Amino acid sequence: MIDNSPSKMLSDPEQLGKYLIQGVLGEGGMGVVYKGYDPQLAREVAIKTIRRSLLAGKAGKELRDRFNREAKAEGSLVHPNIVAVYEYQSNEEGTPFFVMEYVEGKCLKDYLSRGMHFNLDMSLHIINQILCALAYSHKRGVVHRDIKPANILWLEDDTIKIADFGIAKIEASEITQTGQILGTPQYASPEQALGLKTDARSDIYSTGVLFYELVSGLKPFAGNPLAEVAKLDDSHFDKLEISEPELLQLFKGIIRKSLEKDPDKRFQSADEFVKALEHLKVKAEAIKPMHGLLSSEGLLKRLLTNKWLLMTTSSFIGGGILLVTYFISEPQNEPVIETVFVESVLNGLPSTNKIKPLLKENNNSSEQRMKVSRLLRTANLHFKVGRLIAPEGSNAFHAYQLVLELDPTNETAQSAIESIQDKILTHTKQLVDRGEIERAKSQLMLAKSLFPNNHLLQSLSENIK
């Protein structure tokens, strides 16, 4: 989100080099990232700067070297899953800055920090892209050394881009010395946390930590990695929403191998990690047809081509309303979901009161199609982030109902409402199996009121005491 507040704009430059400053994308203790515009090439860019106050003395020289190293590392890499660097220069005062590709996206930290996590299918999609980028950078002698959610950008089209090579190790250089402890402790490999020599396998470890966190919503080692790093025991996997034993065993094996304390026992390359993920993906794909809950064969084929994200959240949403959470395991034939940018999840989603006025507008066919399209985008976004039937007035079910008020034969909305019921039923059974009876009852109470004709929900409710 761009900060264009008056107080910010008074303290920030209007121009850096040839680039016009349009706003602030983000800032930290080291510097500011601006949104800029290149008038010569007529394109938007991101401009990363260092605070001038930090550039004095020996520490300032080291910081300038690190900044230069980041520009050099990223600038040498041209890959669809790595943020591109266009150029590096200084302004008239000698303050260095480098110009990067402007990316419309949010970092994974924005979602994970709000209690969200991803299903296995989308987690695989994300990690595979990260590993492909790392395989590319490693072959060119660049080790990232700070793979973490804050440095992974998720774009509108579900593309992943790695950013911030600020502590990257360029193998041909002597800038990064043994004994220098850099990186984020909760994601750093044991050898990195000890300040020992690191190589590409350190990125493998950090990617393994991220993979576990995407699926579980938790970090495998919450504190000091030097005190806590060890082989993961079964308790780390007890509450994962992966119910098939074979699939769970494959996942456990991959996580444990990627998080081995000894680098020689980990995956030895990003490519090797990718091959292991392929086995997991093939197994997950083989299991999906066994879970089909819809009767239409044609519809089933359509749904199997759309196997994207269900993120779930256990946080309180708006006005103290508790969002009913749905921790779904493998994708269960989700409805056709067009790719929707999820930034609005963080800024608040439209409520029913905001949507209803749309229904009273001009009712000609083109206007109606536009309304339906807008409502479907809202409904699909709710569906993606797990807001299936709660909170009241701002969930997928109500949004799909509004679609059907405008277009009673809309197949996407009809299929989605069926799928919502199936997912609630499946998840409620999982809660019962895990002994979480009160949560199961709460879900069923709400679901029964919305779907009074669903005999499976009614029957399940009668059997839970």
Report yes or no on 1 lying in a domain. no
Same domain? 91 vs 117:
no
What's the pLDDT score for residue 315?
Answer: 39
Could you tell me the pLDDT band of residue 183, with boundaries at 50, 70 and 90?
low
Residue of 38, 110, 121, 146 marked active site: 146
Question: What does pTM read for this prediction?
Answer: 0.62
- The pLDDT score that the predictor gives to residue 193 is 84
Establish if 219 belongs to a structural domain: yes
Residue 229 CA to residue 207 CA, distance in Å, equals 15
For the chain, what is the mean pLDDT?
75
Q: What is the DSSP letter of 198?
A: -
> Is residue 118 a contact partner of residue 214, using CB atoms and an 8 Å limit?
yes
Q: Residues 333, 206: one domain? A: no
139 and 48 within one domain: no
Structure letter (DSSP) for residue 386:
T
The rounded distance, in Å, linking the Cα atoms of 46 and 54 is 21
Half-sphere exposure of 200 (CA within 13 A, CB side): 20
Range of 9-18, 156-165, 313-322, 400-409 with top mean pLDDT: 400-409
Bigger pLDDT: 70 vs 3: 70
Domain boundary among 258, 290, 322: 290
Q: Check whether 184 has a pLDDT greater than 80.
A: no
Domain interval for residue 242 = 105-290
Question: Residue 307: what pLDDT?
Answer: 38
Neighbours of 371 (CB within 10 A): 20
> Domain check: are 232 and 335 in the same one?
no
The DSSP call for residue 118 is -
pLDDT > 90: percent of the chain:
27
Alpha-carbon distance 83 to 86, whole Å?
A: 10
What 3-state class would DSSP assign to 157? coil
**Could you read off the pLDDT of 34-61 as tens digits, one per residue?**
999 999 999 999 998 887 777 777 777 7
Give the residue among 280, 329, 275, 274 at the shortest CA–CA distance from 307. 329
Q: How far apart are CA 211 and CA 280, in angstroms?
A: 13
Looking at 207-216, 330-339, 384-393, which range is the least confident one? Answer: 330-339
Confidence (pLDDT) at 385? 62
Q: pLDDT at residue 181 above 70?
A: no
At 280 the pLDDT is 92
Residue 200 has pLDDT above 90, yes or no: yes
Please compute the mean of the pLDDT values over residues 60-80 and round it to a whole number: 78
Residues 329 and 445 in one domain: yes
Whether the Cβ atoms of residue 119 and residue 330 lie closer than 8 Å to each other: yes
- What SS3 class is residue 174? coil
Whether 246 maps to a domain, the answer reads yes
Task: Answer yes or no: is 411 within a domain.
Answer: yes
**215 and 282 both lie in a single domain:** yes
What DSSP element (H or E) covers 86? strand 85-90
Q: What is the pLDDT of residue 7?
A: 41
Looking at the domain assignment, is residue 169 inside a domain?
yes
- Establish if 295 belongs to a structural domain: no
* 296 in a structural domain: no
User: pLDDT by residue (tens digit) across 4-24?
Assistant: 544 444 456 788 889 999 999
Boundary of a domain, candidates 246, 271, 290:
290
pLDDT of residue 93: 65
Distance CA 98, CA 439 (A): 51
What are phi and psi for residue 377, nearest 5 degrees? Answer: -60, -45
What's the pLDDT score for residue 17?
87
Q: Is the pLDDT of residue 165 over 80?
A: no
Please give the C-alpha separations between residue 277 and each of 120, 126, 239, 249, 271, in angstroms, as whole numbers: 11, 11, 21, 13, 10
Residue of 236, 241, 207 whose CA lies nearest to 221: 236
Overall average pLDDT of the 324-343 stretch: 34
Q: Is 433 a catalytic residue?
A: no
Residues 203-235 pLDDT 10s: 999 999 999 999 988 888 765 555 455 567 777
Q: What is the pLDDT of residue 451?
A: 92
pLDDT (mean) for 121-131: 93
**Which CATH number is 59's domain given?**
3.30.200.20
* pLDDT number for residue 2: 57
Q: What CATH number does residue 110 fall under?
A: 1.10.510.10
Cβ atoms within 10 Å, residue 60: 14
Give the whole-angstrom CA distance, residue 208 versus residue 214: 10
The runs of H, that is alpha helices, within 154-269 are 190-193, 200-216, 225-228, 245-258
Do residues 116 and 97 share a domain? no
Do both 239 and 265 map to the same domain?
Answer: yes
Same domain, yes or no, for 457 and 350? Answer: yes
Residue 249 lies in a domain: yes
The pLDDT, as a whole number, for residue 441 is: 86
Average pLDDT of the segment spanning 136-159 = 89
SS3 226: helix
Q: How many domains does the chain have?
A: 3
Last residue of a domain, one of 239, 270, 290: 290
Higher pLDDT, 184 or 462: 462
Half-sphere CA count of 221, side-chain side, radius 13 A: 26
> Rounded CA gap, 21 and 16, in Å?
7
Cα four-point dihedral sign 252, 258, 260, 261: negative
List, as one string, the DSSP characters of 287-348. Answer: HGGGG-----HHHHHHHHT------B--SEETTTEEPPP----S---PPP-----THHHHH-
Q: What percent of the chain has pLDDT over 70?
A: 72
pLDDT at 321 > cutoff 50? no
Lowest mean pLDDT among 79-88, 302-311, 354-363: 302-311
pLDDT in tens, 225-277: 554 555 677 778 877 878 788 999 999 999 999 999 999 999 999 999 999 99
Say if residue 252 is in the same domain as residue 380: no
User: Greater confidence, 386 or 359?
Assistant: 386
Amino acid at 336: V
Q: Quick one: 285 and 316 in the same domain?
A: no
In this structure, are 159 and 92 located in the same domain?
no
